[in-house]
Chains A and B, each alone.
Chain A
Amino acid sequence: MGLSASPAAPGAAAAAAFTILSQLCGAAFLYVLLKADGSWQVMGLLALLGVGFFLLERFPGIGEFITASLTRVPLVTAATAAIIVLGFPFVVGSNTYILHLLIVAQLYAVLALALNFQLGSANIPNFATGASYGIGAYVSALLALNFGMSFWLTLPIAALAATLFGFIIGIPSMRTRDTYLALVTIAFGVVVQQLLNNFDWTGGPNGLVGIPAPSLFGHSFASPLQVFGWKLPSQANFYYLAAALVVVAVVTAQRLHGSRIGLAWNALRADEIAAKAQGINVAWYKVLAFAVDAFLAAFAGTIYAFYVSYISPDNFTFLVSVTIMTMVIVGGMDNIFGVIVGAFLLTILPEKLRAFSDYRLLFFGVVVIGFLMIRPQGLFPQRLRQYGVHR
């Protein structure tokens, strides 16, 4: 196993060039996929993607070379990514549908990263992420509608409320495991959705309408965004907001993964009894995973509520939780980049394959079963931690 630095490790200049090129290729693929019209074009792109992963599987050297290049010049990697993310709306132009897809994909990326703390790092099958997402959305919407609170104020409050909810599901879940744990979280998810549906003060099945658009320094997010003479549709505001949240989620994930907390989660994923014998308070770390998941999911929920300005219990069903779980499994458990790719693919593909929209649930089911059978580690498998590479 070539785990040490491969002999073909690129030099700094080559790595930088390769880093920029590979990220541009990725962005171009995303752009073409978003622009694709009709099932055949999408199928063709999927086939292309399939060939790419087949090559990665056959020649693991390619993947190692790419990751080696990206980690060799982290600043170039980050800068290229930033430019691509900032520039994408300009390339997309006035196509609001594509912007909408990108916003939803980014929110799902945050949700998938949130669930990844549990499913990926700690192997806790949590089917209540959709409920935490809904609690975030409802708490912030209610605060804005009833008390006129600004978006920026509701954001942390909603996150704290959802975290509390995370603790509440986490505590009974400590006593159960595996299948039973999954059942407990399914029950919680359904209960939350039913409550939202039946309470008067949540608007019942009609939901909450007319959530005001946030504003920043006098600029309303409902109005178009003017940058250096360029005029971007109002969706661009939320695109950048969602992108900022993705950055927060990625940084959170990286910092926790690289600390002893990420290691403790990985330990209890691998062997709970052995983890206990290392002095890890297994119950506490499980509850912690629930809380972190709920915290991030609530952020996504708040942005969603203010973006669409209308939420109902139907937005936060069990199916949403299943979708998020599928994204983590497809993307690659415990791989931050993989989870984001999974979220984007599974947001965009069902939209593009509208012809099969009646079979969406079937589609997710087939995808999950297929992946668990053929590639259980996901598109991008988890990687071993590397220490002192730049020593």
Chain B
Amino acid sequence: MSALLRVENVTMRFGGLVALNDVTFSVKKGSVLAVIGPNGAGKSTLFNVVTGVYKPTAGRMTFDGADITSKPSYEVVRRGIARTFQSSRLFSDLSVLDNVIIGMHTRTKTGVLDALFRPGASRREMAACVEKAEALLQAGSGDLYEQRNRPAGTLAQADRRRLEIARALASQPKLILLDEPSVGMDDKETDALVADIKRLRSGHPELSVILIEHDMRVVGAFPEHVMCIDYGSRIAEGSFETVRANPRVQEAYLGKAAAHA
């Protein structure tokens, strides 16, 4: 099977701090990779490096056959990597619908001159975006569609996470990075989220997902490929069972979680 995303020996240093240390992994087309690890292990940094927010200090990344190391964010998104944020970053003073339409930025192309001198074309493009956005809002769980004309900042926590996912999907990605999508959700909402992701995968069999999660029920729902990071280094990789059984993982992560439970 061909790897969609290949991350090779990526290191990210901030001054003396090593946030990612020689991380290597790959994601196959249509698969889910769950990334686990304690707080501060470097999971979100990994997302930021892959999406071009940070330039890696060393290492190489290829996506869909092209080198994306040190490419700017907008270029990475255009190539088909979309993401959500751990602390949801919505455009809170814009409507729910506008948030999703902005997600289509790389798939639309009206420029300033088009907008000024070909208003009909610009309006048609927006109308098409509205239609697609409404379809995306109807696809997920919850009642986002009914709330489409509300400012995004007034949504409940679970709806904010759902909206972030809808916005990421609006760019028609080949790979979607979900940064702790279940944060702020109760058990029922988390189950709906897992169902959403599963439905999404059956609808788009080509779509790959990287999932950062703390909730082991979510990770357990996608057990084929799990990677554990601690202190910026990959300490285990494999199926959920093997990673969970790994003594280093238990020491770094599950030990703490078990004490909690």
Known A273-B89, A274-B89, A277-B51: A387·B77 in contact at CB below 8 Å: no
Contact A276 B53 (CB under 8 A): yes
Most buried by A among B77, B95, B112, B154: B112
Q: Is A23 an interface residue (CB 8 A)?
A: no
Q: How far is the CB of B236 from chain A (nearest CB, A)?
A: 29
Partner of B126, one of A1, A258, A271, A292: A258
Contact B85 A3 (CB under 8 A): no
Question: In the complex, what residue of chain A is closest to B106 when comparing beta carbons?
Answer: A279
Q: Is A30 an interface residue (CB 8 A)?
A: no
Q: Which B110-135 residues sit within 8 Å CB-CB of chain A?
A: 110-112, 114-116, 119, 122-123, 125-127, 129-130
- Mark the stretch among A13-21, A79-87, A262-270, A307-315 that contacts chain B: A262-270
Contact B122 A255 (CB under 8 A): yes
Contact B103 A255 (CB under 8 A): no
Q: Is A150 an interface residue (CB 8 A)?
A: no
Contact A259 B74 (CB under 8 A): no
Known A280-B105, A387-B97: A261·B115 in contact at CB below 8 Å: yes
Contact B102 A264 (CB under 8 A): yes
Q: Is A281 an interface residue (CB 8 A)?
A: yes
- Chain B residues with Cβ below 8 Å from A276 are 53, 73-74
Partner of B154, one of A1, A264, A280: A1
Considering the chains assembled together, what is the distance between the CA atoms of A1 and B115 in angstroms?
Answer: 32
Q: Which A213-244 residues sit within 8 Å CB-CB of chain B?
A: none
Contact B112 A288 (CB under 8 A): yes
Q: Which A235-257 residues sit within 8 Å CB-CB of chain B?
A: 252, 255-256
Question: In the complex, what residue of chain A is closest to B152 when comparing beta carbons?
Answer: A270
Q: Which B69-97 residues sit within 8 Å CB-CB of chain A?
A: 72-74, 77-78, 82-83, 85, 89-95, 97
Most buried by B among A270, A386, A388: A270
Most buried by A among B74, B95, B103, B125: B74
Q: Which B14-64 residues sit within 8 Å CB-CB of chain A?
A: 51, 53
Contact A256 B112 (CB under 8 A): yes
Q: Is B149 an interface residue (CB 8 A)?
A: yes
Contact A273 B53 (CB under 8 A): yes
Main secondary structure of the interface of B (DSSP, over half): helix
- Chain A residues with Cβ below 8 Å from B112 are 256, 261, 288, 292
Contact A387 B130 (CB under 8 A): yes
Considering the chains assembled together, what is the distance between the CA atoms of A382 and B151 in angstroms?
Answer: 12
Contact B85 A277 (CB under 8 A): yes
Q: Is A58 an interface residue (CB 8 A)?
A: no
Q: Is B101 an interface residue (CB 8 A)?
A: yes
- Chain A residues with Cβ below 8 Å from B93 are 266, 270, 382
Contact B90 A274 (CB under 8 A): yes
Contact B91 A260 (CB under 8 A): no
In this complex, how many residues of chain A approach chain B with their Cβ under 8 Å: the count is 34
Residue-by-residue, is B199-232 near A (CB-CB < 8 Å gives 1, otherwise 0)? 0000000000000000000000000000000000
Considering the chains assembled together, what is the distance between the CA atoms of A292 and B113 in angstroms?
Answer: 11
Q: How far is the CB of A246 from chain B (nearest CB, A)?
A: 16
Contact A259 B94 (CB under 8 A): no
Residue-by-residue, is A370-391 near B (CB-CB < 8 Å gives 1, otherwise 0)? 0000000000001011111000
- Chain B residues with Cβ below 8 Å from A179 are none
- Chain A residues with Cβ below 8 Å from B171 are 278-279
Q: How far is the CB of B151 from chain A (nearest CB, A)?
A: 7
Contact A279 B101 (CB under 8 A): no
Q: How far is the CB of B119 from chain A (nearest CB, A)?
A: 5
Contact B150 A1 (CB under 8 A): yes
Q: Is B167 an interface residue (CB 8 A)?
A: yes
- Chain B residues with Cβ below 8 Å from A281 are 72, 74
Q: Is B159 an interface residue (CB 8 A)?
A: no
Considering the chains assembled together, what is the distance between the CA atoms of A336 and B2 in angstroms?
Answer: 52
Contact A260 B126 (CB under 8 A): yes
Considering the chains assembled together, what is the distance between the CA atoms of A260 and B126 in angstroms?
Answer: 7
Q: Is A146 an interface residue (CB 8 A)?
A: no
Question: In the complex, what residue of chain A is closest to B79 when comparing beta carbons?
Answer: A279
- Chain B residues with Cβ below 8 Å from A273 are 53, 85, 89
Contact B97 A259 (CB under 8 A): no
Q: Is B180 an interface residue (CB 8 A)?
A: no
List A residues at the B interface (Cβ < 8 Å): 1, 3-4, 252, 255-256, 258-261, 263-264, 266-267, 270-271, 273-282, 288, 292, 382, 384-388
The 8 closest A-B pairs by CB, nearest first: A279-B77, A279-B106, A274-B89, A270-B91, A259-B115, A276-B73, A281-B74, A259-B122
Other than A263-B94, A384-B151, give 16 A-B pairs with Cβ distance below 8 A.
Answer: A256-B112, A256-B116, A259-B126, A260-B105, A261-B111, A263-B98, A263-B102, A266-B94, A270-B93, A273-B85, A273-B89, A274-B89, A278-B77, A278-B106, A281-B72, A282-B74
